Amino acid sequence: MATHLISRNGIRLTLDPTDNFASISDNQLMETLGIIPRFFTDKEAPIWEQVENAYGFPMCDLDGGTVGEDLHYRYPEDPALAPVAMYQTDTEVMLQYQYAICAIYPKGKPELAKVTRID
């Protein structure tokens, strides 16, 4: 069952938003997120900009993969990845997957996701 948290900066965080990691504790899921939750400092600033500024390197949009309506990331010939976490502002969403893959898109439009890898 998904766990909903609110960060101190007003960014809404949901662990296991698609209920694919029921056998993993919330503490273990939080550990898989690494330092990425610390990247968010302002719920009004664009997510891509906040992440890129905190990460310290330019992020590039990965080509070839898609985020479906079920929020799973799919890349040709690879198994689909379920999101470990979802971060939300009033206008944007970022999904964090295993292997440091993140997808950022306007709320309600996952088909417009820009996908990057933060590792």
pLDDT of 56: 80
Percent of the chain with pLDDT over 90: 64
- Above 80 in pLDDT, residue 6? no
Query: Which amino acid would we find at residue 78?
Result: D
What was the pLDDT predicted at 1? Answer: 66
Residue with tokens 């893959």: 101
65-108 pLDDT, tens digit per residue, is 999 999 999 999 999 999 999 999 999 999 999 999 999 999 99
Task: Kindly report the pTM of this predicted structure.
Answer: 0.91
Amino acid at 76: P
Rounded Cα distance between 81 and 74, Å, is 7
